[in-house]
């Protein structure tokens, strides 16, 4: 059994992770921590987990977690993991960071976009970007995995085959993405109140959203050259889900068959479904699945590629479990679902 610890267990991503780990046949939860709710039972905060996870929450202590666990999941705000993860910690347990501290390869880029100091520059070269469908072999055997963001997971996987195959003008990429409100986290803030988000849709982080450099980093590696994308996120009045609609101009002479061949790179992937109809968030709810579809507009010469995920599962906790499975040589799909929680 893999012994697991979760720090930040009562945030939305952390709680989803606890739910998934509690049903994982090869995992035992040995430590749960929450700065806000230390001393309370996890099931007191999330009553839906009564009898499933009644563990008393501890204060966030990566040292205590690493002393009892094989893997420590960090579901913490930006800036904390880079202070906490050390060589000593990594000698005791594997770390999967659901935050952003080790996703970007460059310290200066991180500090510019997140406006917080990074204290773990020496570990940036060791950390692997935990997007299994692209970096599976790099993940195996690692001690430190940077779990990708939700918008980034959806956007990168939707566009990656087109960029990797050189089928589109890389200067033309536009991403319009929509997210449910759980993407904003569980902390109390006016902009997340029901009356503020219900019956409205709004763009935010226009031209400066923190996930932009993460998307650019991975797509640039695919292209073998620097890429800049126009990324605009939107908040919509639902709990879960991300839909990314991505636009790019096809290069001269690219055919429908070329595009189909590019997306065939996902053949055999357990958590990617290529769909003929535009993806919908309800069909990936509660799953670790990415639904991807596309349309070629021969009139304009553009391709519209669309991806849908559950932001709390494939966009956070589910992908973290997928990474854990790879690290410990388990079946990659163990403890994860490909069937939606909703059939309609």
CA pseudo-torsion sign 162, 165, 166, 167: negative
The stretch 299-303 carries a mean pLDDT of 98
Helix axis angle, 256-263 to 150-164, nearest 10°: 130
Lateral strand order in the sheet of 2-7: 27-33, 2-7, 71-74, 94-97, 144-146, 128-129
Starting at the edge strand that comes first in sequence, how are the strands of the sheet with 290-297 ordered?
202-203, 230-235, 174-179, 242-249, 302-309, 290-297, 272-274
In a domain, 97, yes or no: yes
pLDDT at 161: 98
Q: Is residue 57 part of a domain?
A: yes
Query: Residues 110, 236: one domain?
Result: no
Nearest CA to 288 among 320, 314, 325, 326? 314
CATH classification at residue 290: 3.30.360.10
- Summarised one tens digit per residue, pLDDT across range 244-283 is 999 999 999 999 999 999 999 999 999 999 999 999 999 9
> Does residue 102 share a domain with residue 64?
yes
Q: What is the pLDDT of residues 182-232, one digit of tens each?
A: 887 777 778 778 888 899 999 999 999 999 999 999 999 999 999 999 999
Domain that holds residue 229: 151-309
User: Among candidates 78, 79, 72, which has minimal Cα distance to 58?
Assistant: 72
Beta-bridge partners for 249:
302
Residue 258 covered by a domain: yes
Per-residue pLDDT band at 153 (split at 50, 70, 90): very high
pTM of the model: 0.96
CA atoms within 13 A on the CB side of 297: 11
Same domain, 168 and 305: yes
Domains held by the chain: number: 2
Look up 195 and say whether it is catalytic: no
């Amino acid at each position: 059994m893999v012994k697991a610890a979760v720090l930040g267990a009562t945030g939305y991503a952390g709680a989803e992770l606890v739910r998934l780990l509690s049903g994982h046949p090869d995992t035992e939860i040995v430590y749960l921590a929450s700065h806000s709710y230390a001393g309370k039972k996890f099931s007191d905060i999330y009553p839906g987990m009564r009898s499933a996870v009644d563990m008393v929450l501890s204060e966030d202590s990566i040292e205590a977690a690493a002393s009892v666990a094989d893997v420590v999941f960090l579901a913490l705000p930006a800036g904390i993991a880079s202070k906490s993860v050390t060589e000593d910690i990594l000698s005791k347990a594997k770390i999967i960071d659901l935050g952003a501290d080790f996703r970007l390869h460059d310290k200066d880029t991180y500090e510019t976009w997140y406006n917080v100091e990074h204290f773990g520059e020496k570990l940036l070269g060791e950390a692997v970007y935990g997007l299994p469908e692209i970096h599976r072999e790099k993940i195996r055997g690692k001690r430190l995995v940077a779990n990708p963001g939700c918008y980034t997971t959806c956007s990168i996987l939707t566009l990656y085959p087109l960029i990797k195959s050189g089928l589109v003008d890389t200067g033309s990429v536009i991403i319009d993405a929509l997210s449910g409100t759980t993407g904003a986290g569980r902390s109390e803030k006016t902009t997340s109140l029901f009356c503020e988000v219900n019956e409205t849709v709004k763009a935010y982080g226009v031209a400066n959203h923190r996930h932009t450099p993460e998307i650019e980093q991975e797509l640039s590696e695919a292209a073998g050259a620097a890429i800049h994308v126009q990324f605009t996120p939107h908040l919509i009045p639902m709990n879960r889900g991300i839909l990314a609609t991505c636009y790019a101009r096809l290069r001269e002479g690219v055919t429908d068959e070329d595009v189909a061949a590019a997306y065939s790179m996902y053949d055999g992937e357990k958590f990617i479904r290529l769909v003929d109809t535009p993806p919908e968030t309800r069909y990936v709810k509660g799953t670790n699945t990415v639904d991807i579809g596309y349309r070629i507009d021969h009139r304009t010469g553009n391709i519209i590629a669309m991806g849908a995920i559950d932001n709390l599962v494939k966009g956070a906790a589910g992908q973290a479990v997928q990474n854990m499975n790879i690290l410990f040589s388990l079946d990659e799909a163990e403890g994860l679902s490909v069937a939606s929680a909703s059939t309609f």
